[in-house]
Copies of this chain bind each other. A is one copy, B any other.
Amino acid sequence: MSGEFERIARFLAPLADNRPEALGLLDDAAVLRPPSRGSYATTLDTMVEGVHYLPDDPPERVARKLMRVNLSDLAAMGAEPYGYLLSLCLPRERDDSWLAAFCQGLREDQQIFGIGLLGGDSVSTKGPAVLSLCAIGIGEEERLFRRSGAQVGDLLFVSGTIGDGFLGLAVRRQEFLWLASQERNALARRYQLPEPRLALAAALRGSVTAAIDVSDGLLADAGHLAETSGVAIEIAAPRIPLSKAAESILAEDPELFPSLLGGGDDYELLFTAPASARQAVLAAAEASATPVTEIGKVAAGEGVSLLDRAGAAISVDRKGWTHV
């Protein structure tokens, strides 16, 4: 692999060409002027090879996943992407073609999401690759989403489908070989290339009382939202949106359902809104061409309850699910 300075000049500096604040990556820091309106939202997520992605995942997709898990955090705040700093810690023997493909993935997502490189660092390790990205977004503070605003009586919504990230990882590990290749590919893609719900978040501004992105799993993240807001959340299990592929798999093995709710890596937007905003939420879903499903509601109390078709509580743990 080429040296740090050559790597920065050859592969990384071109990614900063749309952000004059990056000073060509030639200075000790980037200079970020205050946005003309609003505040900055900043987040930093790290991915480790073999933990958050697989060593043989295509480098373009690794880069785009790193970008997108951070953009998903910005979406969960209702902020618009602006810039990012990048820490690349790669095995010494990693060749330049991997890095070139990785940077190509970053460039594709920069164009899609309107974001540019501001700075960062490039170092070597004897261990697995460790990739960190610090994303900076912009939003008007009073309109940014928080986890803490859910009110008793609010409705609970989720974008897209749940569990595909978990199943996509299983597919990449050679499970579900009986599944049609088209569905296998769709699931693997969901694991490798999450879809940050930025357009939906932008359309939802003013309607949402609390939001979080589903990275730890639907139930865990609903739990974070309930705890931070000081409320209880009830989720109607039959309403949880599933992809066709997930439904095919559950038809074969219904015991997998709790894993879909606990597996994480969905990067869907989970949010609450007053009942009076239901039409506005559906309009935002349509305007952003993003599927949104009403899956439950906010109640007094604490914790997350999963309810069956009859409204009875279901207890879920890693080994399965039973009626309470």
- A residues with a Cβ closer than 8 A to B are 23, 26-35, 39-48, 50-52, 73-74, 76-77, 79, 85-87, 89, 118-121, 123-128, 130, 132, 134-137, 139, 141, 144, 146-148, 211-213, 224, 228
Complex contacts, A130 vs chain B, CB 8 Å: 89, 125, 127, 130
Residue contact B87 to A23, C-beta cutoff 8 Å: no
Residue contact B39 to A34, C-beta cutoff 8 Å: yes
Q: A320 → chain B, closest Cβ, in Å?
A: 22
Closest partner residue, chain B, to A213 (CB atom): B28
Residue contact B87 to A147, C-beta cutoff 8 Å: no
Complex contacts, A79 vs chain B, CB 8 Å: 29
Q: How many copies of this kind of chain does the complex include? A: 2
Residue contact A147 to B51, C-beta cutoff 8 Å: no
Q: A229 → chain B, closest Cβ, in Å?
A: 10
Residue contact B28 to A73, C-beta cutoff 8 Å: yes
Q: A29 and B125 in contact (CB under 8 A), knowing A46-B132, A134-B85?
A: no
Chain A to chain B: the 9 pairs with minimum beta-carbon distance, closest first: A127-B127, A34-B34, A29-B43, A28-B76, A130-B130, A44-B85, A29-B41, A28-B73, A32-B40
Q: Can you list 24 residue pairs at the A/B interface with Cβ under 8 Å?
A: A26-B224, A27-B77, A27-B228, A28-B212, A29-B41, A29-B42, A29-B74, A31-B139, A31-B141, A32-B42, A34-B35, A42-B85, A42-B136, A43-B119, A44-B87, A44-B120, A45-B121, A46-B89, A46-B123, A47-B123, A51-B123, A125-B128, A125-B130, A127-B130
- Excluding A32-B42, A46-B123, 6 further A-B contacts by CB distance (< 8 Å) are A29-B73, A32-B40, A33-B39, A34-B40, A46-B89, A125-B127
Complex contacts, A48 vs chain B, CB 8 Å: 89, 123-125
Q: A120 → chain B, closest Cβ, in Å?
A: 5
Instruction: Give the interface centre of A32, A50, A124, A132 by most chain B CB atoms within 10 Å.
Output: A132
Complex contacts, A125 vs chain B, CB 8 Å: 48, 51, 127-128, 130
Complex contacts, A40 vs chain B, CB 8 Å: 31-32, 34, 40
Partner of A126, one of B44, B52, B127: B127
Partner of A132, one of B28, B87, B135: B87
Complex contacts, A121 vs chain B, CB 8 Å: 44-46, 132
Q: A80 → chain B, closest Cβ, in Å?
A: 12
Q: State in angstroms the CA–CA spacing of A128 and B40 once bound together.
A: 33
Complex contacts, A148 vs chain B, CB 8 Å: 26-27
